[in-house]
Amino acid sequence: MREPADAAVLQVLELRATLLAAIRRFFIGRDFIEVETPAIVPSPGLDLHLSAFEVRSTAGEPVGWLATSPEYQMKRLLSAGAKRIFQLCRSYRGEERGRHHEREFTMLEWYRANATSEEVIGDTEELVAFVTSALHQPAPEVQPPWQRITVDEALQLHAHLTLDSLSDDDERFFRVWAEEVQPRLGDERPVIVTDWPASMASLAQLKGNGMADRFEAFFRGVELCNGFGELTDATEQRRRFERDQAERDAAGVPVYPIDERFMEDLERGMPPSGGNALGVDRLLMLLIGAPSIQAVMPFPEERL
């Protein structure tokens, strides 16, 4: 008989199981159905700063890529008529390794047909409060409603810069965001950041004010989720995908193909929808005060 296993690993297993069960209870209680979509996909997403693992057969034939998120396939399910769907799955990003990044991580993604991003923000707030109590974490600060702030306001507050002054320099925007703004977001309570530049949300619709209908939640300086009022205009979607491809080409990074089945379904029609993608490992890390996402995974790469 071997010695009892590492107590810290066992505790992580129990906390994760409790969190996953609570997430499922939350969505099932709201008439969502749980779905599964493939890990190997024909296009991993075209955002400029996204890197994916290519999958090849034993004979060396290209098969596809590991999904960086299940977004395209879940939206195809909306086109097929699904109303409320959620998924807990592994997603994969190349070149992302750090205290808040792991190349393989657990994603929670959900969509509501005939809904706006506002309703999905509401889901997010209530989900976090629900799972926090399921984990028996005393965290009154996560109770809804959360504070709201626009990207422009966040920049002015924490970096004394306006979005306008950074509008022609994405790299500078991200540098300022990473150094000055994000570390200070959601210091005491989670905060929802809205009104992102249109160039930073390829799959979101535009709001009346010309900004992307995109939101992100931050808690203690960590990005927790990214949600959209989804773009349903197929012509506009193709134009943006082609722009993304041109940007990738210019930057000398692999140019991934457009998912044509996704485009066909979009052309046939997708209802106006809201969706959100949330990092489950980061959520658990934040709720139990762990120092890294690796600390809440039984087998992060460094221990694999």
Partner 1 sequence: MADTSDIKKGFKMLLDGVPFAVVDHQFVKPGKGQAFIRTRIKNMMTGAVIDRTFKSGEKLDKADTEERTMQYLYPEGDARIFMDTRSYEQLSLSNEQLGENVHYLLDGTEVDVMLFEGRPIGVTPPTFVELLVTETEPGFKGDTSSNTTKPATLETGLQVNVPLFVNTGDRLKVDTRTGSYVERVKG
84 scored as a contact of partner 1 (CB under 8 A): no
Q: Which two three-digit tokens encode residue 71?
A: 């977004």
Q: What is the footprint of partner 1 within residues 40-69 (CB under 8 A)?
A: 47, 49
Q: Which residue has the tokens 């890390």?
A: 285
Minimum distance, C-beta of residue 28 to partner 1, in the bound complex (Å): 28
Q: Which of 86, 92, 105, 177 binds partner 1 (CB under 8 A)?
A: 177
32 binds partner 1 (CB under 8 A): no
The yes or no reply on residue 117 touching partner 1 (CB under 8 A) is: no
Binding to partner 1 in span 181-220, by CB under 8 A: 182, 200-201, 216
Distance, CA of 50 to CA of 71 (rounded, Å): 14
What radius of gyration, in Å, describes the C-alpha atoms of the chain?
19
Q: Binding of partner 1 at residue 98 (CB under 8 A)?
A: yes
Stretch that binds partner 1, among 24-32, 71-79, 96-104, 235-243 (CB under 8 A): 96-104
99 is a site residue for partner 1 (CB under 8 A): yes
CA–CA separation, 10 and 1 (whole Å):
18
Q: Lay out the site mask for partner 1 across 147-176 (x = CB under 8 A, - = otherwise).
A: -----------------------xx-xxx-
CA distance 260 to 237: 11
Rounded CA-CA distance 74/97 in Å is 26
When binding is defined by CB under 8 A, the residue of 30, 101, 184, 189 that contacts partner 1 is 101
- Compute CA distances 12 → 52, 62, 296, 298, whole Å: 28, 37, 6, 7
Closer residue to partner 1 in complex, CB, 139/190: 190
Cβ-contact 39, 33 below 8 angstroms: no
Nearest to 31 by CA among 82, 73, 107: 82
In whole angstroms, the minimum distance from the beta carbon of 302 to partner 1 comes to: 12
At closest approach, how far in Å is the CB of 247 from partner 1? Answer: 12
CA dihedral (140, 143, 148, 154) in degrees, to 10, reads 30
User: Does the protein bind partner 1 through residue 96 (CB under 8 A)?
Assistant: yes
Tell me: does residue 178 bind partner 1 (CB under 8 A): yes
For residue 82, the Cα-to-chain-centroid distance in whole angstroms is: 20
Q: Enumerate binding residues for partner 1 (CB under 8 A).
A: 47, 49, 95-101, 170-171, 173-175, 177-179, 182, 200-201, 216, 223, 226
